[in-house]
Structure 1
Amino acid sequence: MEGNSPAYYRDVSLRLFNLLDKVGLREDIRWKWINMMLEAEQIVSIANVSPYHIFGSQAEATTTDGLESDIDIVNCLTFVSVLQSIPSLQTSDAKYIMVSDASTPPGYVKLQIFDRYSVLPTQHSLDSIGRSVLCSRDFSSKRGLERHGPADKKMITRSFSIDFVEALRVRYWPCQASQWENRNNNYPSQANVNLIKKTGALLVPVGHPFSPESHLEWRISMSYGEKILVWQFNSTQHKCYALLKMIKKHFVQPVCGEQALSSYHCKTCIFYALQSTPSSLWKPDNLLLCIDLCLRTLLKWVKIGYCPNYFIPGENMFHGKLYGHIQVKLLAVLNDLLRQEGTYLLSLSCDDIGQRLTRLCQTSLINSVNQTKDGVKSMGIAILSLTNLIAFSQKMFACQDLCEKINFVNKICCTHTTIPTVLRLFYSSSLGSELASQCLAYSVIDKEKLDIAHEFLALGCASDVTSGRLKLAAFYLMQDNYIIAEYVLHLIHENYTYLVRYCKSTPTEEALCKMLENNLSVAEFVRKYVAFPVLYFQSEIHCMPQALILNMFVSRGPRLLDHVPSQCVCVDPEFFLHYLEYQCYFWQGKTSHKMAALNNMMWVVFYTNLEYGDSALSLLACCLMQEGMYMNAWKVLCMSMRFQNEHNAAMWHMAFLIKYAFRFLRIRQ
Structure 2
Amino acid sequence: MFQEHDFRENLSLALSEVLDDIGVNERLVMRRRRHLMLGETICNIRYSFTDTNTTVYYLGSQSEGTTTTGLHSDIDTLYCYPDSNIIQDWSEWEHGKLNYLMIQDENTTPGYCFLQLLRHDEPLPATVIPDEHHISDRSGRILVKNTRFNGVIPGAVVHGPSNAEQGEPGFSDIDTVLAFPCKSWPHSASGWLERQGIGRWPTHDMRRYAVSTRCFVVATGSKVSQYPELEWRISTSLAERCLILNLNITQIRCYVLLKMILKSFLNPQGEINISSFMCKTVLLHCIENTESSIWKENNLFICLTYCLLELHSCVQNDHCSHFIIQENNLMAGQFTAEKKHELSKNISDFLQNDSKMLLRIDIDDLGYRLQVKLNIVPHRAYYYQSSLAIHESNMTSEYLKTACITSLIHNPVLEHLHTKNIRAMKYCIGKLITFNVNGNRLEQAAFKFIAPFIFTTYGSILASSSISENNLVSPQALVWLSVGLNSDISSSRLKLASVFYCTGDMEKAELILRHTEQQYYSYPVVPICRCWMKPRPAVTAEFKRVCGEQSEDCIKHITSFCVRFIQKEINCIPHELQYEMFRSTQGDMIHRDEDEDCWMDWAVVDSLPFLYFLQYKIYRHLQSHQDQQQALNKLIRTIETDTNLSHRETALNILGQCMEQENRPQQAFNCYLLSLQLRSRNNVANFHICKHLSGLLASQ
Q: TM-score higher than 0.5 here?
A: yes
Residue number among 142, 147, 157 corresponding to 1:147 in the alignment: 157
Counterpart in the other structure of 2:563: 534
Counterpart in the other structure of 1:500: 526
Counterpart in the other structure of 1:376: 392
Counterpart in the other structure of 1:483: 507
Residue number among 568, 576, 601 corresponding to 1:567 in the alignment: 601
Counterpart in the other structure of 1:550: 579
1:156-212, CA deviations, whole angstroms, 9 ceiling, x for partnerless residues?
A: 433512333321112421111123223232121122111111113111122223434
| Aligned: 1:176 with 2:208 | no
**Any residues of structure 2 matched to 1:15-414 within 5 Å, and which?**
15-48=14-47, 49=52, 50-89=54-93, 95-116=99-120, 121-122=130-131, 123-139=133-149, 141-149=151-159, 150-158=161-169, 160-185=172-197, 186-254=200-268, 257-319=270-332, 321-362=334-375, 370-400=386-416, 401=420, 402=422, 403-404=424-425, 405-414=428-437
Q: 1:245–1:500: structure 2 CA closer, same or farther, 3 Å change rule?
A: farther
Amino acid corresponding to residue 157 of structure 1 in structure 2: E
Q: Report how many residues are paired.
A: 657
Q: 1:109–1:553: structure 2 CA closer, same or farther, 3 Å change rule?
A: farther
Residue number among 648, 654, 675 corresponding to 1:640 in the alignment: 675
CA distance in 1, matches of 2:32, 2:209: 22
Amino acid corresponding to residue 418 of structure 1 in structure 2: A
CA distance in 1, matches of 2:399, 2:138: 48
1:140 deviation in Å?
6.0
Q: Which runs of 5+ in 2 are unaligned?
A: 530-535
Partners of 1:295 and 1:334 within 8 A in 2: yes
1:579 deviation in Å?
1.9
Q: For residue 216 of structure 2, give the secondary structure of its aligned residue in structure 1.
A: strand
Amino acid corresponding to residue 528 of structure 2 in structure 1: Y
CA distance in 2, matches of 1:529, 1:613: 21
1:499-518, CA deviations, whole angstroms, 9 ceiling, x for partnerless residues?
A: 43425347655434434434
Name the TM-score, length of structure 2 as normaliser. Answer: 0.87
CA distance in 2, matches of 1:570, 1:68: 33
Q: For residue 574 of structure 1, give the secondary structure of its aligned residue in structure 2.
A: helix
Amino acid corresponding to residue 601 of structure 1 in structure 2: L
CA distance in 2, matches of 1:104, 1:7: 51
1:548-590, CA deviations, whole angstroms, 9 ceiling, x for partnerless residues?
A: 3333332477798448465234322222222222222222222
1:653 deviation in Å?
0.8
CA distance in 1, matches of 2:158, 2:464: 43
Of the structure 1 ranges 34-43 and 627-636, higher mean CA displacement relative to structure 2 is found in 34-43
Counterpart in the other structure of 1:511: 543
Q: For residue 531 of structure 1, give the secondary structure of its aligned residue in structure 2.
A: strand
1:22-53, CA deviations, whole angstroms, 9 ceiling, x for partnerless residues?
A: 22222122222222222222211111132221
1:363 deviation in Å?
8.5
Counterpart in the other structure of 1:467: 491
CA distance in 2, matches of 1:560, 1:605: 29
CA distance in 2, matches of 1:548, 1:90: 51
Amino acid corresponding to residue 299 of structure 1 in structure 2: H
1:596-622, CA deviations, whole angstroms, 9 ceiling, x for partnerless residues?
A: 222222222233333222212211211
CA distance in 2, matches of 1:591, 1:446: 28
Of the structure 1 ranges 187-196 and 115-124, higher mean CA displacement relative to structure 2 is found in 115-124
Partners of 2:564 and 2:603 within 8 A in 1: yes
Partners of 1:26 and 1:375 within 8 A in 2: no
CA distance in 2, matches of 1:459, 1:559: 33
Counterpart in the other structure of 1:591: 625
Q: 1:87–1:561: structure 2 CA closer, same or farther, 3 Å change rule?
A: closer
Counterpart in the other structure of 1:601: 635
CA distance in 1, matches of 2:178, 2:402: 20
CA distance in 2, matches of 1:646, 1:181: 58
1:45-91, CA deviations, whole angstroms, 9 ceiling, x for partnerless residues?
A: 11113222111111111111111212122222122122211133378
CA distance in 2, matches of 1:30, 1:479: 50
Amino acid corresponding to residue 310 of structure 1 in structure 2: F
Counterpart in the other structure of 2:7: 8
CA distance in 1, matches of 2:2, 2:303: 13
- % identical aligned pairs: 26
Q: 1:5–1:373: structure 2 CA closer, same or farther, 3 Å change rule?
A: same
Q: Provide the alpha-carbon RMSD of the alignment.
A: 2.9
Q: For residue 342 of structure 1, give the secondary structure of its aligned residue in structure 2.
A: helix
1:634 deviation in Å?
0.9
| Aligned: 1:650 with 2:685 | yes
CA distance in 2, matches of 1:376, 1:13: 26
Partners of 1:372 and 1:513 within 8 A in 2: no
Partners of 2:580 and 2:604 within 8 A in 1: no
Of the structure 1 ranges 5-14 and 430-439, higher mean CA displacement relative to structure 2 is found in 5-14
1:272 deviation in Å?
0.8
Counterpart in the other structure of 1:440: 467
Amino acid corresponding to residue 573 of structure 1 in structure 2: S
Q: 1:651–1:92: structure 2 CA closer, same or farther, 3 Å change rule?
A: closer
CA distance in 1, matches of 2:623, 2:152: 51
Counterpart in the other structure of 1:582: 616
Q: For residue 146 of structure 2, give the secondary structure of its aligned residue in structure 1.
A: coil
1:397 deviation in Å?
1.4
Q: 1:269–1:93: structure 2 CA closer, same or farther, 3 Å change rule?
A: same
Q: 1:564–1:292: structure 2 CA closer, same or farther, 3 Å change rule?
A: farther
Amino acid corresponding to residue 229 of structure 2 in structure 1: H
Q: 1:506–1:269: structure 2 CA closer, same or farther, 3 Å change rule?
A: farther
Q: For residue 278 of structure 2, give the secondary structure of its aligned residue in structure 1.
A: helix
CA distance in 1, matches of 2:150, 2:620: 51
Partners of 1:105 and 1:208 within 8 A in 2: yes
| Aligned: 1:428 with 2:455 | yes
Name the TM-score, length of structure 1 as normaliser. Answer: 0.91
CA distance in 2, matches of 1:134, 1:3: 62
Partners of 2:85 and 2:181 within 8 A in 1: yes
Partners of 1:140 and 1:166 within 8 A in 2: no
Q: 1:344–1:234: structure 2 CA closer, same or farther, 3 Å change rule?
A: same
CA distance in 2, matches of 1:563, 1:171: 36
Counterpart in the other structure of 2:532: none
Amino acid corresponding to residue 624 of structure 1 in structure 2: M
1:100 deviation in Å?
2.4
Q: For residue 74 of structure 1, give the secondary structure of its aligned residue in structure 2.
A: strand
